[in-house]
């Protein structure tokens, strides 16, 4: 039985618990998230899904979050249906992150929706203002392992980001990108 079939089978239970967790304080949800982090079984993934469904801006059906994945500022995360975020990912939703349908994000990937500025030379860079443009990943996207996606990036439909790429600008639809910084390798 694949993940979509399992989700359909337990949809009512998952939705029921997500409604209950909406009333839990954020610190309890964070504690439960951290308790489930080291585990990758169905129960742990279900708990992470229910917590996200309760606290994130919008979470679709059949969203799988792998073990040891950190998601900061859940309230700025929007996620479509059939999304898998694999182990050891870092999702920093300081700015809004929108993930479409049928997206696979491989392990050890970082999405950082904020960026430091350096215009005020009277302050160290770390104390300069931060921009929060956000990240948009549209439908039918595959992001390879160890990828870094930076603030302001839009990855358009049916695209592939090669493993280890650093994406700092828009990715055209139907393209394979890779490298540091990421550039088009070919159209698909």
Catalytic residue list contains 73: no
Distance separating alpha carbons of residues 113 and 96, to the nearest angstrom: 7
Query: E-assigned strands of the chain?
Result: 58-59, 63-65, 70-72, 77-79, 83-85, 90-92, 97-99, 103-105, 110-112, 115-116, 130-131, 135-137, 141-143, 148-149, 154-155, 159-161, 166-167, 175-178, 183-187
Q: For strands 77-79 and 58-59, give the pairing.
A: parallel
The two tokens of residue 140 are 């039918």
Give me the DSSP letters along 6-37.
Answer: HHHHHHHHHHHHHHHHTTS-HHHHHHHHHHHT
Q: In what order do the strands lie in the sheet with 135-137?
A: 58-59, 77-79, 97-99, 135-137, 154-155
Choose the catalytic residue: 73, 86, 107, 116. Answer: 116
Q: Which residues participate in catalysis according to the annotation?
A: 116
């Amino acid at each position: 039985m694949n993940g979509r079939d399992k989700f359909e089978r337990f949809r009512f239970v998952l939705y029921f618990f997500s409604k209950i967790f909406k009333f839990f304080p954020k610190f309890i949800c964070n504690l439960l998230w951290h308790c489930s982090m080291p585990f990758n079984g169905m129960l742990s993934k279900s708990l992470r899904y229910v917590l996200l469904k309760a606290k994130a801006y919008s979470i679709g059906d059949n969203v799988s979050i792998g073990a040891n994945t950190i998601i900061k500022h859940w309230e700025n995360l929007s996620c479509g249906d059939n999304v898998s975020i694999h182990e050891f990912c870092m999702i920093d939703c300081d700015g809004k992150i929108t993930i479409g349908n049928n997206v696979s994000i491989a392990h050890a990937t970082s999405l950082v929706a904020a960026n430091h500025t350096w215009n005020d030379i009277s302050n160290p860079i770390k104390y300069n203002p931060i921009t929060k443009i956000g990240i948009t990943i549209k439908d039918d996207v595959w992001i390879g392992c160890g990828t870094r996606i930076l603030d302001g990036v839009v990855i358009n439909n049916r695209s592939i980001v090669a493993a280890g790429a650093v994406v700092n600008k828009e990715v055209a639809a139907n393209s394979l990108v890779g490298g540091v910084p990421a550039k088009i390798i070919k159209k698909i």
